[in-house]
Amino acid sequence: GDGAPAGNYGYTSSGYSVYEEENDRLTESLRTKVSAIKSLSIEIGTEVKNQNKMLSEMENDFDSTGGLLGATMGRLRTLSRGSQTKLLCYMMLFSLFVFFVIYWIIKLR
């Protein structure tokens, strides 16, 4: 007659409400944590998409730079296949020119 559950439960009406309130409090705490994890995972997903987009753009940039570098290396190989003596002669003349310019600057002091 007093609203207490009948049978083998052994709970009184007030004892059951304490457990129910504790359960509700823990459920709300869990709901808050799950919500925080959900928003964090959404932010991580957005960041991953942005990073993947940047990586794709960088890959395209590196591909175009690689093509340019390959063409430059090809031109250098073609240039180096030419007369080695002519290239050596130009290097020697340039070195002598730099040497005389430095000598002249030192002599003027």
- Look-up of token digits 């049978």: 7
- Exposure class string for 39-60: b at 16+ Cβ within 10 A, else e: eeeeeeeeeeeeeeeeeeeeee
pLDDT at 1: 47
pLDDT at 13: 60
Q: Is 88 strand, coil or helix? A: helix
pLDDT at 10 exceeding the cut of 60: no
CA distance 60 to 45: 23
Q: What is the pLDDT of residues 48-80, one digit of tens each?
A: 999 999 999 988 888 888 888 888 888 777 766
Report the chain's mean pLDDT, rounded to a whole number.
83
- Of residues 18 and 9, which shows the higher confidence score? 18
Name, of 5-14, 17-26, 84-93, the range with top average pLDDT.
17-26
- Reported pTM: 0.46
